[in-house]
Structure formats: C-alpha cells, structure tokens
A and B are shown apart, each in its own frame.
Chain A
Amino acid sequence: MKFLENIVHKMEPKFAKGGKLEKWHPIFESFATLAFTPAHVTSKGTHIRDGVDLKRTMIMVIVAMIPCLLFGIYNTGHWEMVAAAGDRSLDFWSNGGEKFLLGLAVVLPLIIVSYGVGLTIEFIFGMKNGHSLHEGFLVSGMLIPLIMPADVPLWMVGVATAFAVIIGKEIFGGTGMNILNVALLTRAFLFFAYPTSMSGDKVWMAGTENTAVDGFTGSTALGDLASFMSEKPVFENLAEYTNNYSFMDSLMGYIPGSIGETSVIAILIGALILIATGIGSLRIMASFTIGGYLMGLMLNGIGGNDFLMLPAHFHLVIGGFAFGAVFMATDPVTASQTATGKILYGLIGGMLAILIRVLNPAYPEGVMLAILFMNVMAPIIDHYVVQSNIKRRLKRLKTT
C-alpha cells in the first residue's frame, strides 16, 4: 500500500496546475482519492470533520446493493435455466454454481456497459469543466443494471444511460443538481422508447426465445396480475394466482422480474445497512411503504376485480416496490429535503405507485413513474414546508 501511495504522490505534480498532464487532473484526482486520503486540511470553521464524504457515501450505497446484486445474478441464472427447460417448477436452490455463472454472463455485461458509458461521459464533462469526477454515477451505474430486465439488449442500455446522464444530469450541472433520479430516467427512457424490450412477457428471462416448450412465457407476477384487467387473464382467479406466486416466494425473490428487484429480503438487508449508516432516509422508506400499503387497502375496499382485490401486503413484495422504496425514492438529491417533506413525499409516492400499478394495466410498473413524478413534485413539497416555517416565525415575532 505504501508503495502505491508513493507512486501516486510522485505523479501528483505532473497533474497539478501548470504540469504536463494538467488536462487529465480530474481523472487523476478521482482515482487517487478513491484509494487514498487527499492531503488538504480544513483551514477555518470546525477543524474536526466527519470522515464521510460524497465518495464514501456512494460506496456505502453500493455495499448496500451487493445482496441485491448477488441474488439478482443467481435469480437471473435460475430463470434462464427455467426458460431453457420450459418448466417453471424447477427447484430454486439446486445447481447453484451453474445458475450463478449463467446469471453472471447476463448481468456482468450490463454492469460494464452502464459503468462504461456513464463514466466516460462523466469524465468528458469533468475534463471539459475542470472538476473532478462526480461520484453520483458510482451509484447510478450500479442501479441501472439492477432495474433492467435480463433480456434487454446491451446497446439499448448504453443509449439510455447516455441519455439519462447527459439530459438528466449534466445539463443541470452534474451530481446534486439533477431533478430526476438518473437510474430511473434510464429505465423510463427505455420503457417509452423501446416498450417491447421493457415490458410484456418475453423479456424477463434471458433466452426465452430458445425455450424447449411451445407456449412457454416468461411473464412476471405483475404482468400476470395486470392481465386480470384484460379480456384474457392468465389466471382464473386470485386463488390460482397466489398458488403460483405465494407471498413467501415473492418475499424471498423466487420470481422473475428485473434483475435486482425481486428479493425483498436482499433489499431489506440493504435497507438496514443504509439506515444504520444514516445514509438512507428511514422516513422516506417507511412512509413510502405505508403509503403503498394504505393504497392497497383502499383498493381492496373498492374491489371489483381480482387485481383490485389482491391483498395489500402482496403489493409490497411484488414488482419494484421494495427496491424503489429503498434505493430510488431515498435518493438524497431528488427527494424532499425537509423532514416533514420527506414523510409527505414518501406517502404520496407510495400511494401513487400502487394506484398506477393497479388502475393502469398498461403500466404495471407504477413505482418507476410514481417516483419520477414525486421527484418533480419534491421541490414544491419543500417549498410549502419552508413557507410554513416562515409563517410560524412571523407569527412568533408578532406575539413577542
């Protein structure tokens, strides 16, 4: 380690102002501070500072995503095997190593493309504007593969990432200035630009096209549920649905879906890490979940068809709801920033997510749209929270 540090320090003058490689300073700094503590110290104000900075924060989020990633890889492999055999009753935990490798072959290229495209754009903007690499993409680049269907073509991921990073973030001034969550924007872009690759029953398992059995579909729990609203539902009634996708299976994640979103257990481990380190907002996670649950109960009360009658707790474990609540809604940049605002933001977001999911069968994945919508609304929520504080202050001033 000492040896590496010496090399880095020896290289430093070359990248400093006036040095030979001045232009490349942002890139040098990004890598140097990833591994070593930079030399500058506080000059005024509080001289003791907390060890956490943006880079450490982001790395902590990635650590929290590791359980989802590992489970996602395994799950992808499992469903690829299922698709090849055309048999959904395959045992989940047998042939573990092979499944993991199969999944890795699908997920790893996605991760490489998303990081490759995103970081290249970040570096270009960094060099152009003379600032160091914005760390925000470290997390977005990992989130993007986790919310993709397994069968999505790599070039689409590349295009969508480029779109989201340039239009969604760099135009506004980079990390911390974006209005919409970058990872969700990537998904939304694909969802509306290439709907056939992002929805339906073909894309959720890698290799459904070479299935051995005719008529085998790779449909997800949500897709099957949404078909209750159509003329030809996949299942006759709700009991048949819960037979196929039991609550336990959905909770553990033994269901097809986007790569990282299926296992609520893995997501909960991530949530615990985020809450314990104080990085993720418990307020948002809790209120988002409560909002979704309340909306589920309300729709149960209305009733009418089998999708509306789905018990509310099922909504929390299928689709991207849990993943959205923990990793997407809590994005500190795009969420509300005041404590009261966060609770409102989560509640409304969770309710909208389930509302869109159930009442608009064309968009069963309402979580994505709900969070993007709430991202846009967050500044307004904050505005009113701040205004109420101002009013309170004026009132206090008048009475004294």
Chain B
Amino acid sequence: MFPFDIFPMQLTKAAITDDIDGMENLGIYEVAPEDFALCEYVCTTKINIQDKIRTGLDLIADECM
C-alpha cells in the first residue's frame, strides 16, 4: 500500500489540519500526491487523499518558501 517509511494516515491528518510542523516531521518532503493513489483507492471513507496532500504541499510552499 505504502512502501515508504512513512505513516500515510498520520501525514494526511497533519495535512488536513494545516499542521506544518507535523507534516515536516512526518516526511511531507519525501512524497508527491500521486504516492497516495493506492491509499486513496482503498480508503473506506472515500476521502480525496491526494487532494489533501496537494493542499498541504501548497500551504508549505506559501508559508515557508
């Protein structure tokens, strides 16, 4: 499902809550939204995870770069 040493759910939660520190700690810089495609496929609640990660990355780009 997710081959990296990253917790996809915790990272997504951090992205949803705009928690920049949390995202950085959980490894947002190591992923691209497409990495979450499989997670999105199996997600029981049908949350658009890729979209959430994209928003998180954009937020970091706005705030930190």
Q: Interface of A with B (CB < 8 Å)?
A: 42, 44-46, 48-50, 52-54, 57, 176, 337-338, 386, 389-390, 392-394
Complex partner residue of A386 from B7, B45, B49, CB under 8 angstroms: B7
Q: Which residues of A contact B46 (CB under 8 A)?
A: 42, 49, 53
Main secondary structure, interface of A, reads loop
Interface size, chain B (Cβ < 8 Å): 20
8 tightest A-B contacts by CB?
A: A45-B50, A46-B40, A390-B25, A45-B48, A46-B37, A50-B42, A46-B41, A45-B40
Which residue of chain B has the shortest Cβ distance to A394 in the bound complex? B25
> Which partner residue on chain A sits nearest B45 by CB separation?
A54
A48 / chain B contacts, CB cutoff of 8 Å:
41
Q: Is the CB of A393 within 8 A of B27?
A: yes
Judged by a CB distance under 8 angstroms, whether B51 is at the interface is yes
Given contacts A49-B40, A389-B7, 7 further A-B pairs with CB under 8 A are A44-B50, A45-B40, A46-B40, A49-B43, A337-B9, A389-B5, A389-B6
Residues of B whose CB lies within 8 Å of any CB of A are 5-7, 9-10, 25-27, 37, 40-46, 48-51
CA distance A392 to B27 in the complex (A): 11
Contacts of A392 in B (CB 8 A): 5
Q: Which residues of B contact A386 (CB under 8 A)?
A: 7, 10, 26
Interchain nearest-CB distance for A1 vs B (Å): 24
For B25, what are the chain A residues with a Cβ–Cβ distance below 8 Å?
A: 390, 393-394
Contacts A386-B7, A390-B25 given; indicate if A45 touches B45 (C-beta within 8 A).
no
Q: Are A338 and B45 in contact (CB under 8 A)?
A: no
Q: What are the residues of chain B within 8 A of A42 when measuring CB–CB?
A: 46, 48
The answer to whether A44 and B41 have CB atoms under 8 Å apart is no
Other-chain residue from B5, B43, B50 in contact with A393 (beta carbon distance below 8 A): B5
